[in-house]
Amino acid sequence: MAGRLAKASDEKESADLIVREVLRLEKMLTDILSFSKKTTICYTPCNISEIVKDALAVVRPSLEEKGIRVTTRFPRKIEALLGDCQQLKQVFINLFFNGQEAMKNGGELAIRVGTSTIDGQKAVAVKVRDTGGGIPLETLHHIFNPFYTTKDTGTGLGLPIANRIITNHCGKIHINNRPGIGVEFSVVVPIQN
Ligand SMILES: Nc1ncnc2c1ncn2[C@@H]1O[C@H](COP(=O)(O)OP(=O)(O)O)[C@@H](O)[C@H]1O
Ligand SMILES: [Mg+2]
């Protein structure tokens, strides 16, 4: 658009400004994300079930307001995971909010905590499944890009930040997308990294 507008017009000036500012914000975010590398993780033993419960407590009021049913499954006992509890909590808050935003007319958010393996190491796995219709195939490959959003008031930062936090914990986020039905995000984090 900036390239097509007449030179020295107000519109051209505004379009150029938007382009410059978006690039600046993108760079700033890249810097912020790369800044939050391993060194800034405060490693302590974390109970993943407690982290998920804390995150759920943050989102629960607005889930209830939207008529979204929450089902949970926690293991009776789970090994402590070495990580940054506050950052990990943010991951689940972001995923729960995305689920809620996908279920405008109510639905079900199913949360399951369990164990798994990653690269042959013991790991915890948290599955977050919604009934919000899933992600259209043409947008699926964009969802971890900073500032990519399909929402009027979205920031497009929820998933890139979640992904960065999990990567810094040597973990992975898997997506099981069922277009028309819903999506399941699986967060797998090694217990010791
Ligand atoms: N549970 C979900 N169901 C459907 N689409 C989703 C879900 N989670 C994420 N998305 C898609 O990924 C995009 C990026 O998500 P995110 O990074 O959290 O940014 P935001 O929520 O601000 O849009 C969303 O705009 C949406 O299109
Ligand atoms: Mg989000």
| Segment 146-188, tens digit of pLDDT | 889 999 888 888 999 999 899 989 999 999 999 999 999 999 9
Q: How many Å lie between the centroid of ligand 1 and the Cα of residue 51?
A: 21
pTM across the whole model: 0.86
Q: How many Å lie between the centroid of ligand 1 and the Cα of residue 60?
A: 18
Neighbour order of strands in the sheet with 121-129: 68-73, 107-118, 121-129, 182-190, 172-178
pLDDT at 1 (0 to 100): 86
Residue 67 in contact with ligand 1 by CB distance below 6 A: no
Half-sphere exposure of 174 (CA within 13 A, CB side): 9
Q: Which residues of the chain have pLDDT under 70?
A: 31, 33-39, 193
b/e 161-177 (16+ beta carbons within 10 angstroms → b): bbbbbbebbbbbbeeee
Extended beta strands in 130-181, E state: 172-178
pLDDT at 35 (0 to 100): 58
* Structural domains present in the chain: 1-37 (no CATH), 42-190 (3.30.565.10)
pLDDT at 37 (0 to 100): 56
